[in-house]
Chain A
């Protein structure tokens, strides 16, 4: 009877997933044990049988799919892509480990966006009705669409914009919503940076979930490293929690900026009493593969500090 571990090794060997050393050791065992050779032969035949199920997409299906995609892109152009949209797309799935935690962020962000748009739309409709009745409205992009020869009506299109100002304490609900919205949605990295700095420097209480989620979103998805770094700084004021821990692990794994990864591992270290298996695995990965010397050494130190094996 062949034990399960040995069977697993045989499967990995068939897929060429063993290291040279492991493969050598397995070859040695295979040369010594008849039962292993029989098992290997069975697995090889299973593989050959499964190869019968290999399907190639037919050309017409590929062609139809391409055609439909082109039509979809032409007739129904998707909304302009935004960093936070990709974040939603990538993570809003049952397969993603963070999906449940981040679903709340998506819902909050969507709610915030809808609320803001409803507010903005309300004003825009009034402007559309008679922009000259609105104080401080600026018109731009004026286009004459032509004259209807039948009725003699003239059509013009234009954009009407108006400046708003919110003033209030930092914990005012409208100010908080505005900051969260700006941090996640504004195209201008300067505006996002100002939003995150205002949150980090001015907000004394750290109990607003919308802000926390916006900071996590910015930390993970903002294209600007300064914004990501400031978001991480601002998150330091929050008590440890699974969402923030997951965001730190994400940064540690995927952020290309070593400085941000260093800050993430430093913050993670301060929560060492709450390390779970996933955190330990990420730290072990870092010991072995991070390109930055400091992070490799730091990950090792943290693991030793909590009495865990480094490898």
Chain B
């Protein structure tokens, strides 16, 4: 076990004993990634915030039962995946506000309703580039929304968050082959949807 892993284990053990500071530290280690995943998955800040709350409340409730049989991050992402899927099922039953509706466009940058930036990784200030980026961003959002929940989550975990397929299989508790299948199908679909931007 590496020193970092050992340190994390000690942190988890302290949190399991009810030490709130340790729990908070644990949350802050991973919450940025969880929120990023939720944003990619839902394309909505409000829904991403809801997912964040639900994930960490579930983690808080279940932490004492965590037995170190998997990495903590795998366990956390599994909970996140489950919450995302639950959210996707709920979203099917109602109209959700897409992320683009939460912004107003100013100076070529995405701005959230309360004035803070939601930063696409490659946006810059040149008007042409910004307009193109906005169009691409919308098209990507629409293409991602066209994927099934499983395909979207697998694609997000692999492409945007850099998890290996084996880890994703552990997170989703399924065979690696199944993960590959979702990734291939997602790529094929995105390829069709976005062909005019890259072909």
Contact = CB atoms under 8 A, between A and B. Distances in A.
A79 to B, nearest CB: 7
B32 interface: yes
Given A53-B144, A58-B117, A95-B82, A72 B53 contact: yes
Secondary structure type dominating chain A contacts = helix
Interface in B72-125: 75, 78-79, 81-82, 85-86, 89, 99, 112, 114, 116-122
Contact of B172 (A50, A80, A95): A95
A156 interface: no
A256 B57 contact: no
B140 A89 contact: no
A309 B66 CA distance: 35
Interface stretch (A7-15, A20-28, A136-144, A196-204): A7-15
Interface residues of A, number: 59
B158 A53 contact: no
Interface residues of B, number: 73
Given A53-B144, A58-B116, A78-B57, A90 B121 contact: no
Contacts of B58: 89
Given A53-B141, A93-B86, A96-B82, A61 B116 contact: yes
A302 to B, nearest CB: 19
Interface of B: 20, 24, 27-28, 31-32, 35-36, 39-40, 45, 48-49, 52-53, 56-58, 60-70, 75, 78-79, 81-82, 85-86, 89, 99, 112, 114, 116-122, 133, 136-137, 140-141, 144, 150, 158-160, 164-165, 172-175, 180, 183-184, 187, 190-191, 194, 197-199
Interface of A: 7-8, 11-12, 15, 17, 42-43, 45-62, 64-66, 68-70, 72-73, 78-87, 89-90, 92-97, 221, 223, 254-256, 278, 281
